[in-house]
Amino acid sequence: MTNSMEKPAVTKVEVGQVTVGGANFVVIAGPCSVESEEHFLITGQAAKRSGANILRGGIFKLRTSPDSFQGLGKDGLAIAKRVRQELAMPIVCEITDPRQIGDFHDIVDMFQVGSRNMYNYSLLKELGQTKKPVMLKRGFSALIEEWILAAKYVTDGGNPNVILCERGIRSFEKVTRNTLDLAAVAYIKQNTSFPVIVDPSHATGVRNLILPMALASAAAGADGLLIEIHPDPDNALSDGFQALDFKQFDQLMDKLSLILDTLNRPLAPTAVV
Ligand code: PEP
Ligand code: MN
């Protein structure tokens, strides 16, 4: 970590044909969990139609309760593979265990390391042995410095392709699921070479707060966003309370484009894999 006044050069990370950390702003969107092939396909189509660049979808879910839906597992990977091909869109899925790397490697364009695994150094070391991009979410109680050091476990292994994702931290506040730390975003931009994106869905856990926090994230200098969307949020198998429906997501993208115009930072083109 440096504290000099000089900004370190940003590492540009290629996710499929989408560059994160470059001149363009990038939007990742999709459901919290892949629920079925049809569900993932229609959600991906809506994401793409509204201008999202990368599709997300959880397959192995780390849920607070063991009784909650745990994801489709390996069946979900096969679905992700087909939907990725059909939509020609890069895809990011959360990896929860180093033993999954082989199964994930040829399907996803980027590994997601979730908040609960930010301190899983054996997973980070293994991901450092690949060249595939890693989106490292901030641990919900992690200091910025611990988060940056976690990223270093991946880069020290020889994989420079790390994107940081601010997803809110636990505070005393209960109205929101987490507390979005936008100062962390500005700090990362000023003091490290990592691209940084913001996940206002998990950071707020409140559907109506996602749009304003998405706009604020862009203004704070984030390189992109991660947004959870669902065709029928009230019946989602996970995190429905914080999912935008397709119309709400489209409205978010419209408003975002106004901010991006002002910032002179165009949205990345909808790219192919
Ligand atoms: C997710 O992206 O669905 C997720 C579980 O996020 P986090 O690890 O930030 O809680
Ligand atoms: Mn989620």
- Give the total residue count for the chain: 273
Residue 222's CATH number: 3.20.20.70
- Whether 217 is covered by a domain: the verdict is yes
- Whether 16 is covered by a domain: the verdict is no
- Whether 271 is covered by a domain: the verdict is no
Given a cut of 90, whether residue 10 has pLDDT beyond it is no
Indicate whether residue 138 lines ligand 1 (CB < 6 A): no
Element (H, E) at 29: strand 26-30
State the closest ligand 1 atom to the C-alpha of 112, by its place in the atom list counted from 1. 2
How many angstroms separate the CA atoms of 46 and 249, rounded?
9
Indicate whether residue 137 lines ligand 1 (CB < 6 A): yes
Task: Indicate yes or no: pTM above 0.85.
Answer: yes
- Whether 267 is covered by a domain: the verdict is no
How many angstroms separate the CA atoms of 146 and 124, rounded?
13
- Whether 46 is covered by a domain: the verdict is yes
State the closest ligand 1 atom to the C-alpha of 137, by its place in the atom list counted from 1. 9
pLDDT per position as a tens digit, 238-247: 999 999 999 9
Q: Can you spell out the DSSP letters for 36-47?
A: -HHHHHHHHHHH
For residue 15 the two structure tokens come to 């996710």
- Whether 33 is covered by a domain: the verdict is yes
Q: Tell me the pLDDT of the chain averaged across its residues.
A: 96
Contact status, residue 50 vs residue 250, Cβ threshold 8 Å: yes
Mutational test site, ligand 1, from 32, 34, 91, 110, max ligand atoms within 8 Å of CB: 32
Biggest alpha carbon distance in the chain? 50
pLDDT per position as a tens digit, 181-206: 999 999 999 999 999 999 999 999 99
For residue 10 the two structure tokens come to 């940003």
Given a cut of 80, whether residue 61 has pLDDT beyond it is yes
Indicate whether residue 218 lines ligand 1 (CB < 6 A): no
User: Separation of 264 CA from ligand 2 center, angstroms?
Assistant: 30
Tell me the CA end-to-end span of the chain in Å, nearest whole number: 33
Given a cut of 80, whether residue 41 has pLDDT beyond it is yes
User: Separation of 3 CA from ligand 2 center, angstroms?
Assistant: 33
| Number of domains composing the chain | 1
Pairing mode, if any, of strands 26-30 and 54-56? parallel
Residue with structure tokens 């429905």?
Answer: 240
Indicate whether residue 30 lines ligand 1 (CB < 6 A): no
How many angstroms separate the CA atoms of 32 and 26, rounded?
18
- Whether 255 is covered by a domain: the verdict is yes
Indicate whether residue 39 lines ligand 1 (CB < 6 A): no
What is the domain extent for residue 129? 22-61+68-262
> What b/e string do you get for 253-268 counting C-beta neighbours within 10 Å, with b at 16 or more?
beebeebbeeeebebb
What pLDDT does 8 receive? 76
The fraction of the chain above a pLDDT of 90, given in percent, is 95
Q: Residue 139's CB: how many other CB atoms inside 10 A?
A: 21
Indicate whether residue 96 lines ligand 1 (CB < 6 A): no
User: Separation of 228 CA from ligand 1 center, angstroms?
Assistant: 10
